[in-house]
Amino acid sequence: MGNILVFGASGQLGQCLAHVARERNTPGLQFLPEDQANILDLAGLRAQFARYQPSYCINCAAYTAVDKAEDEVELARKINRDGVANLSQLCAEYGTTLIQISTDFVFAGTGNQPLVETDASAPLSVYGLTKLEGEQVVPGYTSQYFILRTSWLYSEYANNFVKTMLKLGQERDELRVIWDQVGTPTYAIDLAGCILTIIETQSREFGLYHYSNEGVTSWYDFATAIFELSGTTVKTTPIRTAEYPTKATRPAYSVLDKTKVKTQLGVVIPHWRTSLQTCLERLQQAVSAA
């Protein structure tokens, strides 16, 4: 399998990759420290590619501050587009397979049917636009790539919706949560498992794929499930998006169709409630062990 370079190693998905690689005893993953893994530094990147001669490059690095991106367009574009171009160029030079992570935010979310990979993209935010631009630069450099669009990532690691809800559920008597944005939560541990499956099976089914957990929910119902499964008592009130204005517009419906990833890559995907239960149990175990 050779060496596998992971960029964005300190982020949520990077930490989940490290977790799953330990569980599976997957060899070869190189989690580069931030000072050696700046995806905007082409010369520095080339030094790492020359050193490791990687078979795979996993790019978990991204500008993900969705609302802040509306004011930092150029920075978001540099990281989400130009950084991806740098990695794509080096992957082409070294015969490395690129695994690039993208997002449901590339869609407008105006429909009501699960989105397939060939559906038209029409991002509503700077974040979504720059992530789409990142997708689009890859094929100009290399044909050896997997682009995985995902949605609503959470895990035991870093900051995310599940951990925020658990914290607020302990601090407040009532929470107002949006109910008219519909999608699918994705346990980042499951996504990490999908990535390692692609590598371990040495798949050559290159291309664009959708990956999230199975099922459909709203942010309100997701929050309600978090409180129910964790035994947290807090009143939750559903509100419309219009009652909670944000600088960036989110897609109202971004359920991803996973048929392609399941049939072509043989990936088994759990239901979002099953994975949420697993995450909550692991978070509780961590608290008990502390």
User: Distance between CA atoms of 62 and 77, rounded to whole angstroms?
Assistant: 10
Place of tokens 């049939």: 263
Contact 28, 73 (CB under 8 A): no
Number of C-beta neighbours around residue 174 at 10 A: 9
Q: What share of the chain is helix, strand, coil (3-state, %, to 5)?
A: 45, 20, 35
In this predicted structure, the answer to whether residue 1 has a pLDDT above a threshold of 80 is no
pLDDT mean over 231-260: 96
Right CATH number for 4-289 from 3.40.50.620, 3.40.50.1110, 3.20.20.140, 3.40.50.720? 3.40.50.720
CA-to-CA distance for 225 and 187, rounded, in angstroms?
Answer: 14
Dihedral sign from CA coordinates of 84, 89, 91, 97? positive
Report pLDDT digits (tens) over 270-281.
999 999 999 999
Q: In Å, what is the CA distance from 259 to each residue of 200, 206, 213, 269?
A: 21, 15, 12, 10
% the chain with pLDDT above 90: 96
pLDDT at 36: 85
Give the model confidence (pLDDT) of 190-206 as tens digits.
Answer: 999 999 999 999 999 99
Parse the chain into domains and list their residue ranges. Answer: 4-289
Backbone phi, psi, residue 40, to 5°: -90, -5
Identify the band that residue 268 occupies on the pLDDT scale cut at 50, 70 and 90.
very high
pLDDT tens per residue, range 127-165: 999 999 999 999 999 999 999 999 999 999 999 999 999
Read off the tokens for 41: 């530094």
Indicate if the pLDDT at residue 250 is higher than 80: yes
Q: Average pLDDT, stretch 219-233?
A: 97
E strands within 93-222? 97-103, 145-150, 153-154, 174-178, 182-183, 186-187, 207-210, 217-218
Residues annotated as part of the active site? 127
Report the candidate in 200, 4, 196 with the shortest Cα–Cα distance to residue 91.
4
158 burial via Cβ count (<10 Å: 0-12, 13-18, 19+)? middle
Give the model confidence (pLDDT) of 6-36 as tens digits.
999 999 999 999 999 999 999 999 999 888 8
Phi-psi region of 182 (alpha: psi -120 to 50; beta: other; left: phi over 0): beta
